[in-house]
Structure formats: structure tokens, C-alpha cells
């Protein structure tokens, strides 16, 4: 479950990126967050991952009050979140496999069981045959799938993705959306941002619209 109540985010330079945000997402829901560039979509996701802290207001993620979370507890919050970042954040100095195994190494998995999970995740995104490849040799869509594999390899209950399809060709877009739907179908809470323009041939899903930092209903 993800729940925001009266959340404000003001950046240190004084810019107010989110104003009075309140919503609740139930476990297992799939939700899209839309809005123009600069509307505050990334900021909202960063608050969920405690990458940014709210200026005021309460945020509950998996029964944890994020706004009051100690810094030392943040890593453990993130281990239960699968995050796909805008701008990918792939490590280009290591293979696809080594990128995806990183969250498991962080959690202290043994090599054997980690390898099994990595292959399962790569299989889900269709990159199993590229596990030894270097990310630089992958196409844009494949790189995005690599990021999704890394986000789901630790089997999080919540998956959040920041504009996972923006710079991709339409054929890739469909693939990747289907991938998120399949995670949603096995009970994962899925949260995806997407710019307004790119909306969507999936009207059955809930949509939260942001406009200049405010939710519009």
C-alpha cells in the first residue's frame, strides 16, 4: 500500500514541486501518473523511494511512515521497492548479469541462489541470451528491459517506474507495458509515470494526473 496525505515538497532552492498531494494506492493496484514535463512526476516517485524527503505531510509505504524514516533504515525500504529510474542508471562497466545481480548481492544472497533469480528475471524480460553481454551493446529497449529485470529481481511487492517508455520506439513501448502488466497480474503494486502526450491505450487502469505540482481529478 502507498498512501500520501497533505504532502508538500519544496526543493532547497525554494521551488515547490508538489503541493498538497493526497492519494492511496492499494496493494496489487496498477496506477499511471501523468503530467507535463516539470509537473512533479519524478519528484513524487522519489518521495516513495525516500530519495527525496517531503517538506511536510505523511507518506506510508508498506506500513512504514517514510516521512519519519531514519536515514539508516532507508536501504531496507528500498530493498522492498523495485525502482526503474528515469535515465536508467545502468553500470556500463559490467555485464548484463552483473547489473541485475547487484540488488541480490546487496541483500547478501549466496551466489547460487542469486544466479537462479537473475536468470529468472532476465527470462521474464527476454534477455536471457544476453546475460554475458555488455550493456553498451544493447538496444535502447533492451537497456530498459535490463533496468526492469534489475528492479524485479529481488521480488519486490511494489514496482515503480519513471517514464520507462518515453524514449522508446512504439513497438518496444508495447512490449514493456505488457511486461509491467504481467507483474501486476501476479499481485505486484505497479506505479508508472508517463508524460501526458504519450497517453495510453489502457483506459482500464487508474490514472493520477499532475499539473504544476498539484493533483487534478
Partner 1 sequence: MWLSHHWHAFFLALRRLVGSPLANLLNIIVIGVAFSLPTGVYMLLGNVQSLSGQLSGAPQLNVFLKLDTGKDAIEKLKSHLKQHPQVENFRFLPKDKALEQLKQRNGMATAINSLTRNPLPDAFIIDAKSISPETLKRLRNEMLKWPDSMHVQLDSDWMERLNALLKLGQIALLILTALLSFALIVVTFNTIRLQILTKRNEIEVSKLIGATSNFIRRPFLYFGAIQGVAGGAIAWLIVALVINLINSELINLVRLYAVDFQLHHISFEDSISLLLFSSWLGWVGAWLSVASHLWQIEP
Ligand X SMILES: Nc1ncnc2c1ncn2[C@@H]1O[C@H](COP(=O)(O)OP(=O)(O)OP(=O)(O)O)[C@@H](O)[C@H]1O
Q: Applying CB under 6 A, which residues contact ligand X?
A: 11, 13, 15, 17, 35, 37-43, 86, 195
Beta carbon nearer to partner 1, 108 or 203: 108
The nearest distance, CB 105 to partner 1, in angstroms, is 6
Measured distance CA(11)–CA(204) in Å, rounded: 34
Handedness of CA 190, 121, 172, 168 (dihedral sign): positive
Beta carbon nearer to partner 1, 141 or 156: 156
**Which among ligand X, Mg ion, partner 1, none contacts residue 103 (Cβ within 5 to 8 A by kind)?**
partner 1
**Which among partner 1, ligand X, Mg ion, none contacts residue 59 (Cβ within 5 to 8 A by kind)?**
none
Sheet holding 2-10, edge to edge: 16-25, 2-10, 56-61, 64-65
Beta carbon nearer to ligand X, 18 or 153: 18
In angstroms, the Cα distances linking 15 to 9, 38, 165 are: 8, 11, 27
Could you tell me whether strands 158-162 and 189-195 are parallel, antiparallel, or unpaired per DSSP bridges? parallel
Residue among 123, 217, 128, 95 at smallest CA distance from 179? 123
Does residue 183 touch partner 1 according to CB under 8 A? no
How many chain residues touch Mg ion (CB under 5 A)?
A: 2
**x/- site string to partner 1, residues 80 to 119, per CB under 8 A?**
---x-x---x-x-x--------xx-xxxxxx---------
**Which among ligand X, Mg ion, partner 1, none contacts residue 141 (Cβ within 5 to 8 A by kind)?**
none
The nearest distance, CB 65 to ligand X, in angstroms, is 22
Residue among 172, 214, 208 at smallest CA distance from 192? 208
Does residue 174 touch partner 1 according to CB under 8 A? no
Contacts of 146 (CB under 8 A, 6+ apart): 90, 96, 99, 100, 125, 127, 135, 138
The nearest distance, CB 146 to partner 1, in angstroms, is 12
Amino acid at each position: 500500500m502507498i498512501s500520501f496525505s497533505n504532502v508538500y515538497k519544496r526543493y532547497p532552492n525554494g521551488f515547490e514541486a508538489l503541493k498538497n498531494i493526497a492519494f492511496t494506492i492499494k496493494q496489487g493496484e496498477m496506477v499511471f501518473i501523468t503530467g507535463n514535463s516539470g509537473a512533479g512526476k519524478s519528484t513524487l516517485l522519489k518521495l516513495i523511494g525516500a530519495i527525496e524527503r517531503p517538506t511536510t505531510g505523511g507518506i506510508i509505504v508498506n506500513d512504514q511512515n517514510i516521512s519519519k524514516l531514519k536515514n539508516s533504515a532507508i536501504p531496507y525500504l528500498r530493498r522492498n521497492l523495485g525502482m526503474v529510474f528515469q535515465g536508467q542508471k545502468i553500470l556500463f562497466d559490467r555485464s548484463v548479469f552483473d547489473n541485475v545481480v547487484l540488488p541480490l548481492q546487496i541483500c547478501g544472497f549466496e551466489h547460487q541462489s542469486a544466479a537462479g533469480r537473475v536468470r529468472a528475471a532476465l527470462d521474464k524480460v527476454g534477455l536471457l541470451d544476453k546475460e554475458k553481454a555488455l550493456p553498451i551493446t544493447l538496444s535502447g529497449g533492451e537497456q530498459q528491459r535490463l533496468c526492469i529485470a534489475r528492479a524485479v529481481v529481488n521480488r519486490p511487492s511494489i514496482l515503480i517506474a519513471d517514464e520507462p517508455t518515453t524514449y522508446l520506439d512504439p513497438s518496444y513501448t508495447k512490449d514493456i507495458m505488457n511486461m509491467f502488466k504481467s507483474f501486476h497480474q501476479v499481485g505486484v503494486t505497479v506505479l508508472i509515470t508517463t508524460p501526458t502526450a504519450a497517453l495510453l491505450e489502457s483506459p482500464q487502469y487508474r490514472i493520477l494526473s499532475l499539473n504544476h505540482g498539484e493533483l487534478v481529478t
